[in-house]
Homo-oligomer: A and B are copies of this chain.
């Protein structure tokens, strides 16, 4: 479900967070689906539970998941969260595109690249 890459410069808690956020916003983790428990995931990834907890806490603060006391953590699919994510990604897209244009890459080259992507169902 989540994999770690120790060559990644991002800290572990961040990799976990980014991984789940991506699963959630892509729909791979549906609304109200349960996330692995803190202890369970910590064991399967062979890392400290506190590191998972840090990721979960941040995700809850940012509205990606909610927790039910004694039961576990569950995915949110709040419209506001999705909209925020879309906004951030669009901003990234613009930033990257502007830099590419600065570097002499044409709009058509960029568009062709996007057009060539495989859209999974």
Q: What size tier do the contact residues of chain A reach?
A: 20 to 34
Number of copies: 2
- Which residue of B is nearest A100, CB measured? B89
- CB-defined contacts of A111 to chain B, threshold 8 Å: 111, 114-115
Report the stretch among A32-40, A59-67, A91-99 that lies at the interface.
A91-99
Do A99 and B89 form a contact, CB below 8 Å, given A94-B117, A117-B94? yes
Task: Give the B-binding residues of A (Cβ under 8 A).
Answer: 22, 25-27, 82, 85-86, 89-90, 92-94, 96-105, 107, 110-111, 113-115, 117, 119
> Could you list 29 A-B pairs, sorted by A, with CB under 8 Å?
A22-B102, A25-B99, A25-B102, A26-B103, A82-B103, A85-B103, A86-B103, A86-B105, A89-B96, A89-B100, A89-B103, A89-B105, A90-B113, A93-B93, A93-B97, A93-B100, A93-B114, A96-B96, A97-B113, A97-B114, A98-B117, A101-B119, A107-B114, A107-B117, A107-B119, A111-B111, A111-B114, A111-B115, A114-B114
